[in-house]
Amino acid sequence: MASYLHRTATTLYLCCVPTLEDSKGAGRVGLAECKGTKKFITSNSYHEFFLYFYTKIFTPCSSIQKQISKTLKYSNLFNLYLMITNQTFTMIKPNAVEKGHTGAIIDQIIKGGYRILALKYVWLSQREAEAFYEVHKERPFFGELVAFMSRSPIVAIALEKDNAVEAFRTFIGATDPAKAEAGTIRAKYGESVGENAIHGSDSNENAQREIAFFFSGREIYK
């Protein structure tokens, strides 16, 4: 399969070449952008490639998004794009679980139009909490965050909805419950910035990483 995507000032070539041995479509993927500089990556799967493509090329180049979407409309890559942008990850934090708000929060999420793809009730170890929040390891609040997230069970949930990441972050409210819009989950159940009841992925890339942290492929309902 080869798709050629054009725009006025530059040309973006997207070429996926499956090998004969690989029925899943993995193969050599070539990307070339405008100035004649070609870059090749080896992808183990369309999912891995498209996550790279989406975060490094598709998102920054908003001017060509409509044309790319039209070009890939009937391809596996476009389906993967929809999957990536329509999924997010959330986690009901220890303080909300401790106070018995789990059911009410899940009910609000479902009534908000989100489809649950996977759900897990788990108690994170200190090491697991450190790994999940590794991106914050140099921040002064890292130790306190790890201690909080590993003090009692959490509920990890993979969700699906159109434009899921952005929509869900608006849905749950501002990080500071005192500033969250009335009726949002954080406004209702959050106690402070540190114990704000619920987590929501902040990007499509992080949503995929966080879902994979808690769930194997066979645990996700599709």
70: left (phi over 0), alpha (psi -120 to 50) or beta: alpha
Tokens of 170: 């608006």
Is 199 an annotated catalytic residue?
Answer: yes
Token pair, residue 220, equals 């996700």
Are residues 53 and 12 in contact, defined by beta-carbon separation less than 8 angstroms? no
What tokens does 48 get? 């891995």
Half-sphere exposure at residue 194, Cβ-oriented, CA atoms within 13 angstroms: 10
Instruction: Give the number of other CB atoms < 10 A from CB of residue 167.
Output: 17
Q: How many CB atoms lie within 10 A of CB 184?
A: 20
Catalytic residue among 6, 47, 136, 199: 199
Report d(CA 55, CA 29) in Å as an integer.
16
Tell me which amino acid residue 172 is: I
Report the catalytic residues: 199
